[in-house]
Chain A
Amino acid sequence: DVKVTQSSRYLVKRTGEKVFLECVQDMDHENMFWYRQDPGLGLRLIYFSYDVKMKEKGDIPEGYSVSREKKERFSLILESASTNQTSMYLCASSYLDRKNYGYTFGSGTRLTVV
């Protein structure tokens, strides 16, 4: 089975800290994605990457950056954490072949910024 692993289930960080959320997948997927999920707002795409060192902004990239130095790893960076970034963060991956394959999600990271 494809596995997408997020390094932390729960994180508590202070306002202004630099925060790294790590995601690793083990099925050689080309695409990787970061979403955040908030009550009433659903899932919103922050950034995605379709290849090493490539990145594309999603719908809400402000306050975030990403890094993809290796194919299997995609990191989300909060340069200076703020309380409005308290959320559930979900990583996902997929093949480039959109017709025949779906997405696989990780188990999520619940981030609280105090």
Chain B
Amino acid sequence: KQEVTQIPAALSVPEGENLVLNCSFTDSAIYNLQWFRQDPGKGLTSLLLIQSSQREQTSGRLNASLDKSSGRSTLYIAASQPGDSATYLCAVIGETSGSRLTFGEGTQLTVNP
């Protein structure tokens, strides 16, 4: 059974710092990995989708990498801002899981002005 783990569970940084959020998964047979952002009381916003054949994806200050063989992904946020404060979730679609997403527990990020 696929398990997704995110470390750390919570992170507090001063504005302007570059930071890395980590995601690991136990079964490397995945179709893709998706990073989401969730603001308190809101739905999930898709940030980046990395297909299994890709190594990384970039959008603005965000860069996500994928090492499928080792079961790891990182989300790099450059020059963090208070508006980046949110919970970040990673999720994978496994090759044997149909269309189900398996989520990590999330990293709660606080960027202090």
CB distance from A4 to the nearest CB of B (A): 8
A48 touches B99 (CB 8 A): yes
- Within 8 Å CB of A58, what residues of B? 100
The secondary structure that dominates the B interface is strand
A96 touches B41 (CB 8 A): no
Encode contact with B along A94-114: 1 for CB under 8 Å, 0 otherwise.
101011111111111010000
Does A76 have its Cβ within 8 Å of any Cβ on chain B?
no
B44 touches A90 (CB 8 A): yes
Given contacts A98-B31, A110-B41, contact A103 B103 (CB under 8 A): no
Given contacts A90-B43, A108-B41, A108-B42, contact A103 B101 (CB under 8 A): yes
User: Count of chain B residues with Cβ under 8 Å from any Cβ of A?
Assistant: 24
Encode contact with A along B97-111: 1 for CB under 8 Å, 0 otherwise.
011110111100000
CB distance from A102 to the nearest CB of B (A): 4
Does B52 have its Cβ within 8 Å of any Cβ on chain A?
yes
- Within 8 Å CB of B103, what residues of A? 42-43
Closest B residue by C-beta to A88: B41
A105 touches B99 (CB 8 A): no
Given contacts A42-B106, A99-B32, A99-B51, contact A108 B43 (CB under 8 A): yes
- Within 8 Å CB of A19, what residues of B? none
Q: Which of A48, A88, A90, A110 contacts B100 (CB 8 A)?
A: A48
- Within 8 Å CB of A6, what residues of B? 43
Closest B residue by C-beta to A45: B100
A contact residues, range: 20 to 34
Does A50 have its Cβ within 8 Å of any Cβ on chain B?
yes
CB distance from A58 to the nearest CB of B (A): 8
Please report the C-alpha to C-alpha distance between residue A108 and residue B34 in the assembled complex, in whole angstroms: 19
B49 touches A102 (CB 8 A): yes
Please report the C-alpha to C-alpha distance between residue A45 and residue B2 in the assembled complex, in whole angstroms: 14
Does B36 have its Cβ within 8 Å of any Cβ on chain A?
yes
Q: Which of B49, B89, B101, B105 has the most CB of A within 10 A?
A: B101
Contacts beyond the supplied A48-B100, A100-B32: 9 A-B pairs with Cβ under 8 Å: A6-B43, A33-B99, A42-B103, A42-B106, A48-B99, A94-B99, A103-B44, A103-B91, A108-B42
